[in-house]
Structure 1
Amino acid sequence: MIHIAIVEDEEKYRKQLREYIEQYCEKSGKQIQTSFFQDGEDIIENYTADFDLIFMDIQMRFMDGMTAAREIRKLDKKVILMFIISIATYAIEGYEVDALDYILKPLSYNMFEQKLNRALLRVDGQEEHYFLIQTSEETLRIKVTEIHYIESHSHIMAYHLPDRILESRGRLDDLEEQLSPYGFYRSNRGYLINLHYVTGVSDGCCIIDGNMLPVSRRKKAEFMEKLSQIL
C-alpha cells in the first residue's frame, strides 16, 4: 500500500486533495493510505520516515513548507516531496530539498492525476532511464539522472557526472533529441543541461554544481518556462 502525507493548512484544499485521492484510487485500482497534517510542525514532530510521498504546502502559518522539508531531508533522504504552491516562482526553491515536482493552486484533478502518476512511477522504481556513453576505452551504461550537464567542444561531448567527467565523440543536436524527454534543455550552442540540477539563475547563466553555464538571450524566456515546468 502507498502511504501519502498531505501537509496543508487550508481546510478546503485538504478536503479537495482527499477527494482527488479517493477519485484516483477508484479510477486506478491502487490502494493509498493518506495522513493529513495542518502545518509543517505537525509532520516533523515524531517523524517516522514511513511515507512514500509528501504533498507539502509551501506557505503555512507556523512552519512553512521549505523549513519542514529541510528538516524532513535530515531524517529521510528517500521520501518523494511535491510542493503545493500558489505562485510559480516558488517552484525553483524545491531544488534545494530535491523535490520531484509541484502542484499549482487552484488545483485541478487532471493536473493532480498527472503529477501523482509521475510520483508513483518513482515510488515503483520505474522512472529510471539509462544512457550509453562510448568513451575511447569502454562503453558505459549511465543513469540519465546522473548526467548533470553536457558540454560540447569540437564534436567532443563532456558528460559532467557527480564524481567524474566522461568524454565521447558525438553531436549535441543528437543528444538534445535523445535527452530532452528527460528534462534536458539546450541552453546555448555548447551546453545541454539537466534542468533538475539547476540551483539558480544569475547574469545570463544558470548555476549547476556551482558552475555558471550560459543561457542564450533568445532562449531565456523559454528556459525559465521549462525550468518552472520541470520541478
Structure 2
Amino acid sequence: MLKVVICEDDFVFRDTLNEYLEVILKEITNQFEIITFNCGEDLVENYPEDVDIFFLDIEMNKLTGMDVARKIREVDDNSEIIFTTGVINYVQDGYEVRAYRYLLKPIQFELLKEHVNSCIKDIIKRNENNIVIQNKGCIYKLRIDEITFVEVINKDIIIHTINQSYNTKTNMKIIEKELIKYNFYRCHNSFLVNMKYVEYIKQSTILVNSVEIPVSRYRIKKFKTKLLSVLGDIIC
C-alpha cells in the first residue's frame, strides 16, 4: 500500500493536487491511499503512520510546512518530503529536513508526474538496497539509506546508522566503492559521509546527524561542489 499525505491550506490547490496524484498513482498501482490535511496542526495532531510521501505547503499559518517537516523528522527518517511553494527562500532549511524536492506553484501535471514517479522509484530502490557486514561471528544486514557516516578508528571501520553503530574489519576503500553511488563522499581520510544527512558546513567542519566531522583542507572545495550538486537536485 502506497500512502501519500497532502498538507495544504489552499483548498483549491489541495483539491487539484489530490486529483493529479490520483491519476498518477493509478498508473502505478491500485493500492494507494491519499490523506489530506488543511493545516499543519491537524496533521501533527492526527499523525498517520507508514507514510511514503508527504506533500507540504511551506507557507501555512501557525505551523508552516517547514515546522511540520521538522516534527516529521523527529519520528520518521524514511518518509520522503516534497515541498510545494511559490518561493525558493527555504531551500537551505529544506536541506536540514532532507526534502526530496521543491515543487514551485502552480504545479504542472507532467512535471508532478515526473517527480512522483522518480520518488516512488527511489523508495523502491532504497528498500532494496542493503549492505552485509560481519563482526565477531555475527552477520548484519544494514539499509544503506540509514547509514549516516563511516569512520576509521585504528584498524577498525565503524559504520554509523541512524540508531546504532557497527564495527567491522573491512577496508575503507571497499566500503567507499560500494557506497559512493548512493551519494556518499570521502570528506576526510578517516570519514565517508552520506550527503543526505549533512546538516551544515562551517569552515572545515560539517555536521552529520548531529555529529561534527572534519573535512580535509584539500577536499573542502570538491565537497562544497558535491553538496551544492545534491542540494540543487531537490529544487524543481
Corresponding residue SS for 2:48? coil
Identity among equivalent pairs (%): 23
Q: Which residue identity lines up with residue 94 of structure 2 in the other structure?
A: A
Q: 1:199 to 1:79 in 2, by over 3 A?
A: closer
2:27 aligns with 27
8 Å contact from structure 2 (residues 66, 93) kept in 1 = no
Distance change (3 Å), C-alpha of 1:116 and 1:164: closer
Q: CA RMSD in A?
A: 3.4
Deviation at 1:156, TM superposition (A): 5.2
Residue 15 of structure 1: how far off its partner (Å): 4.2
Q: Distance in 1 between matches of 2:78 and 2:65?
A: 15
| Change in 2 beyond 3 A, CA 1:185/1:211 | same
Residue correspondence of structure 1 range 186-197 to structure 2 within 5 A? 186-197=186-197
Q: Distance in 2 between matches of 1:39 and 1:102?
A: 20
Match of 1:49 in 2: 48
Checking the alignment, whether the CA contact within 8 Å between 2:58 and 2:65 is kept in structure 1 is yes
| Aligned residue number for residue 164 of structure 1 | 165
How many corresponding residue pairs?
A: 219
Q: Aligned equivalents of 1:20 and 1:59: distance in 2?
A: 21
- Alpha-carbon distance in structure 2 between the residues aligned to 1:163 and 1:102: 28
- Taking the TM superposition and a 5 Å limit, the aligned residue runs for 1:144-163 are 144-152=144-152, 157-161=157-161, 162-163=163-164
TM-score (norm 2): 0.72
SS of the aligned residue for 1:127 comes to helix
1:92: which partner in 2?
Answer: 95
Q: What displacement does 1:166 show?
A: 1.1
Q: Distance in 1 between matches of 2:231 and 2:149?
A: 14
Amino acid paired to 1:115? C
Structure 1 unaligned residues grouped into runs of 5+: none
Corresponding residue number in structure 1 for 2:7: 7
Q: Residue 195 of structure 1 contacts residue 230 of structure 1 at CA under 8 Å; is this kept in 2?
A: no
Show the 5 A alignment for 1:71-220: 71=71, 77=76, 80-85=79-84, 86-87=87-88, 88-95=91-98, 101-106=100-105, 107=107, 108=111, 109-119=113-123, 121=124, 127-135=127-135, 137-138=136-137, 140-143=139-142, 144-152=144-152, 157-161=157-161, 162-172=163-173, 174-208=174-208, 209-214=210-215, 216-219=219-222, 220=224
**2:169 counterpart SS class:** strand
Q: Structure 1 length normalisation: TM-score?
A: 0.74
